[in-house]
């Protein structure tokens, strides 16, 4: 059974939106700081239980799936008709949008990983030998910014799919509007004097 372009489009959109939502929820659930507990010559940070690390990790996974589906949407042979990559890459606009989608996917994933790993390290390394340590968490806005880059990546992959569809039609010369020879002029209009 062949995969329809609509199925891939909906899959890219769904997984991209899931990645965005998980990143936004991670940003909203992240505590502002931990609670410093004084010990003998050290501070032990106690962080409230929050799903930030799990949500950030799931957001990265969803973005990777979205990116993979984005590549599939560009190179998958629809209706059993494959188009050579050289023909697809003749469209400069398509090439530019693929690069923009890849760059957004890369930086969205990188920023989300940075925020997730940073938050995880704050939770794991909770004993500090400085008595004035404030028990910070990951910087505010990292998860949210990464979430918006994930959303941008998804939107650019959808644009790439539309541009790929146009490039395929140009290569296969599919024109559903009819041929020029089908339009007949049966009445001649002459200027009356």
Q: For 120-158, how does the pLDDT look when each residue is reduced to its tens digit (9 = 90+)? A: 888 888 887 777 777 888 888 899 999 999 999 999 999
User: Degrees (nearest 5) of the Cα angle 27, 30, 31?
Assistant: 145
Name every residue whose Cβ is closer than 8 Å to that of residue 62 and which is 6 or more positions away in sequence.
15, 16, 18, 19, 22, 150
Report pLDDT for 11. Answer: 92
Q: What is the pLDDT of residue 139?
A: 84
Range of the domain at 49: 5-189
- Of the given ranges (71-75, 143-147, 158-162), which has the lowest mean pLDDT? 71-75
Per-residue model confidence (pLDDT) at position 185: 53
- Would you mind telling me the total number of residues written for the chain in this entry? 193
Closest CA to 57 of 109, 2, 123, 125: 109
Percentage of the chain beyond pLDDT 90 is: 44
Query: What pLDDT score does 140 carry?
Result: 86
Longest dimension (CA), the chain: 110
More confident call, 18 vs 39: 18
Q: What span, in angstroms and rounded, lies between the C-alpha atoms of 104 and 110?
A: 10
pLDDT of residue 49: 85
Supply the DSSP string of 95-129, one letter for each residue: HHHHHHHHHHHHHHHHHHHHHHHHHHHHHH--EES
Q: In this predicted structure, what is the pLDDT of residue 80?
A: 73
DSSP state of 37: E
Q: Which residues contact 39 (CB under 8 A, 6 or more apart)?
A: 127
For residue 180, the model assigns a pLDDT of 54
**Residue 125 has what pLDDT?**
82
169 or 182, which is more confident: 169
pLDDT for residue 18: 97
Instruction: Give me the pLDDT at residue 128, please.
Output: 76
Q: In the 3-class helix/strand/coil scheme, how is 150-189 assigned residue by residue?
A: HHHHHHHHHHHHHHHHHHHHHHHCCCCCCCHHHCCCCCCC
Between 22 and 182, the higher pLDDT residue: 22
Q: What is the pTM of this model?
A: 0.81
Q: Which of 47-51, 95-99, 161-165 has the lowest mean pLDDT?
A: 47-51
Task: Indicate the average pLDDT of the chain.
Answer: 84
Beta bridge mates, 37: 44
Q: How far apart (Å, rounded) are the C-alpha atoms in residues 19 and 184?
A: 54
Report the domain count for the chain.
Answer: 1
């Amino acid at each position: 059974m062949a995969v329809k372009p609509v199925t891939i489009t909906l899959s890219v959109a769904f997984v991209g939106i899931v990645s965005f939502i998980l990143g936004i929820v991670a940003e909203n659930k992240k505590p502002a700081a931990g609670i410093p507990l004084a010990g003998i010559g050290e501070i032990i940070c106690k962080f409230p239980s929050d799903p930030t690390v799990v949500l950030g990790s799931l957001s990265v996974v969803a973005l990777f799936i979205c990116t993979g589906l984005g590549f599939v949407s560009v190179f998958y042979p629809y209706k059993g008709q494959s188009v050579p990559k050289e023909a697809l890459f003749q469209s400069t606009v398509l090439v530019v949008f693929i690069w923009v989608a890849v760059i957004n996917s890369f930086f969205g994933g990188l920023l989300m990983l940075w925020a997730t790993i940073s938050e995880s390290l704050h939770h794991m390394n909770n004993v500090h030998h400085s008595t004035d340590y404030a028990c910070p968490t990951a910087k505010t806005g990292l998860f949210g910014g990464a979430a918006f880059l994930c959303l941008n990546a998804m939107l650019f992959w959808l644009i790439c799919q539309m541009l790929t569809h146009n490039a395929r039609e140009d290569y296969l010369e599919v024109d559903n509007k009819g041929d020029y020879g089908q339009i007949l002029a049966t009445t001649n209009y002459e200027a009356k004097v």
